Amino acid sequence: MHDNLTIIIIVAAIAALLFLIVVLLIASVVRRALNERRYRKLDALRREYREQVQRLLDKDGIAGHEPDFAAATDSLEWQAVEEVLLDLMNSGVSGDELKVLFHRLGYVAYYENRLASRNRLIRASAIDKLGRMGTQSSLAKLLLRLNETEPEILTVTVRALSRIGAKEGLIAIVERLPVLLAQGRVTRKAMETALLNFSKDAVDCLVEYHIQDSDPWIMSCVLETLSHLPPDIRAFSLASEHLGSANPEVRSKALKVIGRVEAPLPASLPDLILPLLDDPVWFVRLQAVKSVNKLDCAKVAKSIGKLLFDKNWQVRSTAAFSLARLGTCAMDVFLGALMTDDAYAKESICEEIEKSRFVDQLIEHLGGNDETLRIKSAAILRIMHSMQFSTPLLECSTAEGSVRIKEEVNKILAAGAGR
């Protein structure tokens, strides 16, 4: 009797479990079918509204046609219209008209009301939508969000303000940099990306910001942002002040800024940059090599040449590339390095000479009247050929061109087999 009861309980449990599985499967299938139906309808509505909006924009504009796009809040029509308008905003189509439409259809008021929600995700979504709509009327409400503490809210707020692009938003962000970047509340990458959206206005704020705060972490963020903004002599002055920073990150970012400035530069610049070619931190040396293109070739070629044997491969490669860009005034440096026993350095040099097309200049020198230049060029090309960097020579030997150059090239090729 006891065994029979046990069996009945087990069978009932199995049956209940199977029933539950079947119910869950049916629910999943039904939910999937309903979602597919919903998405098909949403896709159709998006196509319909996009064609309608585009037709109006191409003709007389949307003004007066707002009722054609009115829909109940949170309906499929509401969602479709919103997505179409945001997509058009992102593609740069009639932004001002679309901003007005967002207001008149109630989207701005709807999302502004959701800023008061206790649900963090709802607030974050509302902030993001208002930023994407680009309506400056929401600026005051979004600025208040910078006083919150949740990293997600702060990040999306900074991004939203940068999309709106108002200078008030920029100033508020810059003034709060220490708080926003503290403890990773907003990542530095997200901050830099947001600041770049303000373009020229960001330069004005950032070059003044250093007076208020000299924290290395903050300053490196400021300098990194400036290195991607339009070149400005004020940015150069700020960067110059921080080349001697004790923080290598700051020194590196300052060099990036200097490397992009196009205005006339002071005669003291070599004294600021050249010492950093010997910096103990490799990425500072790397940026120093990239920045020396602002200096006179004769002053920097030898200094860069020392970095052809740097212990960091990126520094070595960049040094070779920079020398190749300097051209003929770097030939003595190249020759000296190619005559050493450092096979790795020699290979890097040959690779950069070939990749930068400086090799074409060397070949041209073979037919020139400058005997010194011709001899040095031939010596470099012979070493390159001996290291199997022979493709440019082989191409020259079969192409049409100067007979004298082809004769010199064939002499080099005859010296040994290349690739």
Query: Angle 343-355/313-326 helices, nearest 10 degrees?
Result: 50
Residue 28 pLDDT level (bands cut at 50, 70, 90) = confident
The structure tokens listed for 340 are 């050493």
Reported confidence tier of residue 2, pLDDT bands at 50, 70, 90: low
Quick check: is 296 in a domain? Answer: no
Q: What is the mean pLDDT of residues 235-247?
A: 89
Q: Is the pLDDT of residue 230 over 90?
A: no
Q: Supply 273's token pair.
A: 């940059």
- Cα atoms found within 13 Å of the Cα of residue 33, Cβ hemisphere only: 6
- Tell me whether residue 178 is in a domain: no
For residue 156, the model assigns a pLDDT of 94
Q: Of 254, 169, 270, 167, give the one whose Cα is nearest residue 214.
A: 254
Residue 264 has pLDDT above 70, yes or no: no
Which residues neighbour 242 within 8 Å (Cβ) at sequence distance 6 or greater? 210, 219, 223, 250, 251, 253, 254
* 402 part of a folded domain: yes
Give CA–CA dist 170/161, Å, rounded. Answer: 7
In a domain, 318, yes or no: yes
| CA dihedral over 261, 241, 287, 359, signed as positive or negative | positive
| Residue 86 domain-assigned (yes or no) | no
Q: Yes or no: say if 364 and 396 are a contact pair by the CB < 8 Å rule.
A: no
Q: What pLDDT shows up at residue 312? A: 92
Cβ atoms of 352 and 318 within 8 Å: the answer is: no
Query: Which residues form the domain of 327?
Result: 304-419
Q: Residues 141-187: pLDDT tens digits?
A: 999 999 988 999 999 999 999 999 899 999 999 888 888 888 678 88
Distance, in Å, from the CA atom of 159 to the CA atom of 239, rounded to the nearest integer, reads 26
Instruction: Tell me which long-range contacts 311-314 makes (C-beta under 8 A, separation of at least 24).
Output: 311/282, 312/282, 312/285, 312/286, 313/348, 314/282, 314/286
Render pLDDT for 330-339 as a digit per residue (tens, 0 to 9). Answer: 888 988 988 9
273/212: higher pLDDT: 273
pLDDT band for position 23 (cuts 50, 70, 90): confident
pLDDT of residue 172: 92
Out of 21-35, 37-51, 79-93, 105-119, pick the least confident.
21-35
Tell the residue number behind the tokens 């309906």, with chain if given: 75
- Indicate the pLDDT class of residue 418, thresholds 50, 70 and 90: very low
Alpha carbon distance 419, 410 (integer Å) = 14
pLDDT at residue 9 tops 80? no
Helices (DSSP H) in 339-414: which residue ranges?
A: 343-355, 358-365, 371-386, 391-398, 403-414
1 pLDDT more than 70: no
pLDDT at 416 over 80: no
- What is the pLDDT confidence band of residue 35, given thresholds at 50, 70 and 90? low
**pLDDT for residue 419:** 43
Q: If you average pLDDT over residues 362-374, what whole number do you get?
A: 89
- Residues whose CB is less than 8 angstroms from the CB of residue 89 and which lie 6 or more positions away in sequence, other chains included: 95, 98, 99, 132, 133, 134
Residues 182 and 393: their CA atoms lie apart, in Å, by 57
Distance, in Å, from the CA atom of 412 to the CA atom of 281, rounded to the nearest integer, reads 41
| 3-state DSSP percent of the chain in helix, strand and coil, to 5 | 75, 0, 25
Estimate to the nearest angstrom the gap between the alpha carbon of 277 and the chain centroid.
Answer: 26
Of 185 and 306, more confident: 306
Q: Is residue 183 part of a domain?
A: no
Please name the residue that has the structure tokens 């150069």. Answer: 236
Length of the chain in terms of residues written? 419
Q: Would you say residue 339 lies in a domain?
A: yes
The confidence score (pLDDT) of residue 66 equals: 84
**Cβ-count burial of 364 within 10 angstroms (0-12 exposed, 13-18 middle, 19+ buried)?**
middle
Mean pLDDT of 111-125: 93
Please give the mean pLDDT across all residues of the chain.
Answer: 86
In a domain, 369, yes or no: yes
Give CA–CA dist 112/389, Å, rounded: 64
Written as six digits, the tokens of 366 are: 């073979």
Residue 61 pLDDT more than 50?
yes
- Is the per-residue pLDDT at 212 higher than 70? no
Domain count, the chain: 1
Comparison of pLDDT for 223 and 292, the residue scoring more: 223
Is the model's pLDDT at 139 over the cut of 80?
yes
Q: pLDDT confidence of 284, banded at 50, 70, 90?
A: very high
Q: What is the pLDDT of residue 247?
A: 93
The predicted pLDDT at position 110 comes to 94
Q: Dihedral, CA atoms, 226, 228, 234, 237, nearest 10 degrees?
A: 70
The per-residue pLDDT for range 308-337, each reduced to its tens digit, is: 899 998 998 899 888 888 888 888 898 898
* Whole-angstrom distance, CA of residue 319 vs CA of residue 290: 8
Residue 305 has pLDDT above 50, yes or no: yes
pLDDT of 279 strictly over 90:
yes
Residue type, 28: S
Closest alpha carbon to 179 in 210, 213, 206, 156? 213
Phi, psi of 61 (to 5 degrees): 100, 170
What's the mean pLDDT in 89-114? 87
